[in-house]
């Protein structure tokens, strides 16, 4: 049986440094705009507009077709650095970051 002193000595907090997210593509703010567009800002200061209208209204939309409901689209938020909606929908921030960094949208 380990003593309390041994248990405290073996704590994982002391063995593993705290996680420090540094990826430049973490979303820090998002705002829904008219026409199924998003204004996004990343942790490195990169900001731009993501136009989702064509994708949402396409046959390839898949689960994102539910976002055709503008009231649902307006419920966008940021969770753990990703753009999310109710129903476990989320967008990969790295692809958005790349496109905005390269093309401004």
Architecture of domain 24-103: 2-Layer Sandwich (3.30)
pLDDT tens digits for range 75-89: 999 998 999 999 999
Q: pLDDT for 4-21, tens place per residue?
A: 555 455 555 555 666 566
Q: Provide the pLDDT for residue 103.
A: 84
Span 99-103, average pLDDT: 87
Rg (C-alpha) for the chain, rounded Å, is 19
Domain ranges of the chain: 24-103
Comparing 8 with 66, the larger pLDDT belongs to 66
Mean pLDDT value of segment 61-80: 96
> Mean pLDDT throughout 53-57?
95
Which of 96, 87, 103, 104 lies closest to 29, judged by CA? 96
């Amino acid at each position: 049986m380990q003593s309390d002193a041994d248990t405290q000595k073996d704590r994982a907090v002391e063995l593993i440094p705290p996680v420090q997210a540094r990826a430049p593509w973490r979303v820090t703010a998002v705002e829904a705009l008219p026409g199924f567009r998003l204004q996004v800002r990343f942790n490195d200061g990169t900001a731009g507009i993501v136009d989702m209208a064509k994708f949402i209204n396409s046959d390839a939309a898949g689960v994102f077709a539910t976002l055709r409901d503008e009231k649902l689209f307006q419920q966008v938020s940021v969770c753990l650095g990703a753009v999310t909606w109710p129903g476990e929908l989320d967008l990969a921030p790295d692809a958005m970051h790349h496109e905005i960094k390269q093309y401004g949208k």
